[in-house]
Structure 1
């Protein structure tokens, strides 16, 4: 029994150290909105809407985070499909675009 726990702990540690942990990949979905500040408002709104439509997401999508358990995030392997990872990455891009849109007050009469 004790040997099984040692093997399990070793496997989890190795899985978390190769850069494919769920926590690491989910953190990568959060993007800076500053990269979108140089894009004109009308183009950014259109880009955001196209991305949301492509992945069937709402225009106010935000990246989601799973709860693998206290202290286990860095060691829990990411078992999500590539399609699901792509959707969550698109959510992060949409959220970054929305933060830039809100900060610059795009779409508001002025």
Structure 2
């Protein structure tokens, strides 16, 4: 039994160390910076996020997910997800980054007034 565990552990190490194909490494790639979307106008970014969500059957609140491999083998576990699942996880990361940019810039919310007015008062006509 011990020999089987040694062989299994060495296989996992070998599979996980080959060219960035470990589950943990690939899942980390799904997390994107929201700063790349700050130069995109709000209306275009909202439309782009909604389109990515619709194409991948995801909510606009999607966030990247991470698996929880047993016994700390995460960096050594080979990525066994299907291509469809990898694409969905990548889209979740894109949606999350776009949403963070949208939230930070208050896109889609009414503009705040620059002038202070009392509630119920009307601006002077003149």
TM-score range, shorter chain: over 0.9
Are 1:7 and 2:7 an aligned pair? yes
Superposed CA offset, 1:74-105 (max 9, x none): 01111110001000000000000000000000
- After the TM superposition, which parts of structure 1 deviate over 3 Å for at least 4 consecutive aligned residues? none
- Larger mean CA deviation between 1-10 and 88-97 belongs to 1-10
Once residues 35 and 17 of structure 2 are traced to their aligned partners in structure 1, the CA distance between those partners, rounded to angstroms, is 30
Q: Which residue of 2 aligns with 1:64?
A: 65
Structure 2 gap ranges (5+): 112-126
Alpha carbon RMSD of aligned pairs, Å?
A: 0.9
Q: Look at both structures and tell me which one has the larger radius of gyration over its CA atoms.
A: 2
The offset of 1:66, in angstroms, is 1.0
The offset of 1:4, in angstroms, is 2.0
The offset of 1:70, in angstroms, is 3.8
Once residues 78 and 30 of structure 2 are traced to their aligned partners in structure 1, the CA distance between those partners, rounded to angstroms, is 16
Structure with higher helix content:
1
Q: Which residue of 2 aligns with 1:47?
A: 48
Once residues 40 and 71 of structure 2 are traced to their aligned partners in structure 1, the CA distance between those partners, rounded to angstroms, is 40
SS at match of 1:12: helix
Counterparts in 2 of 1:26-41, with a 5 A limit?
26-41=27-42
Once residues 41 and 77 of structure 1 are traced to their aligned partners in structure 2, the CA distance between those partners, rounded to angstroms, is 39
Structure 1 gap ranges (5+): none
The offset of 1:20, in angstroms, is 1.1
Superposed CA offset, 1:19-51 (max 9, x none): 111111111100000000000000000000000
